[in-house]
Amino acid sequence: MDIQQKLTGFAMMGATWIMWLLVALSVGGLAVALERAIYLIRTSENVRKLKAQILGMIRGGDIAGARVRLEQSPSHEARVISAGLQDLDDGSASAEERMSGAIQIAKLRMEKRLAFLGTLGANAPFLGLLGTVIGIIRAFHSLNDSAGKVTAGLMSEVGEALVATAIGILVALPAIAFFNTFQRIIKSRLARAEAFGKEVLALLKSGRPGGADRAV
């Protein structure tokens, strides 16, 4: 049996299993999207209000109070600023490096499992196309068996082929939409954290907080 016969035998299994695979992948994609949405909501806070509080404490020299307030916050923005306010005796350069590291950690945590959504969105149409190719092969075999006559079996094979492509597209669209939405949210939050950190560093370098100018 040559390779063509093997591939033909594989195609004759039908595209039903591909459609069920796409359905299973879509359920997994929805689960990932829901988990990421809940995570991003639970780790969010009014950053504008938090910034006003933290900058006010630093201006008043209450570095310890600022650290406590940041520890109480569930947001990644707070984790970034908290990293910068640790060990101020090491200087502003070290504080900036710690913030940069905290931003990278926050990025990794917020992007967890998003690669699955991106991969699903990019490849689901190809799985659907594979189902279409298999369906067309089966349709040709059905046409051959019927001596060129259009039969109900032939139309069923063609319909299955088209449905496979449709399912692949329907699975890919929400996966891509969720992936792009989450990426935009993460990018925005990281940008806010970076801007917040620069304001804190600028304030510390200005020598306004009590004792902080000597530490930095």
pLDDT for residue 147: 53
For residue range 82-115, list pLDDT tens digits in order: 998 988 777 778 888 999 999 999 999 999 999 9
CA distances from 71 to 57, 66, 116, 200 (A): 14, 9, 31, 16
pTM of the model: 0.81
Q: Helices 76-84 and 152-205 meet at what angle, rounded to 10? A: 30
Token code pair at residue 94: 């070290």
- Give the helix ranges, DSSP H, for the chain: 3-11, 16-42, 47-59, 63-72, 76-84, 92-110, 114-145, 152-205, 212-215
Asked whether 178 and 29 are in contact (CB, 8 A), the reply is: yes
* Annotated domain spans of the chain: 3-215
Among 212, 186, 214, 207, residue whose Cα is nearest residue 67:
212
Asked whether 47 and 77 are in contact (CB, 8 A), the reply is: yes
pLDDT for residue 20: 87
d(CA 168, CA 188): 31
| Average pLDDT over the chain, rounded to an integer | 83
At residue 212 the predicted structure's pLDDT band, cuts being 50, 70 and 90, is very low
User: Residue range 62-88: average pLDDT?
Assistant: 91
At residue 170 the predicted structure's pLDDT band, cuts being 50, 70 and 90, is very high
CA atoms within 13 A on the CB side of 122: 8
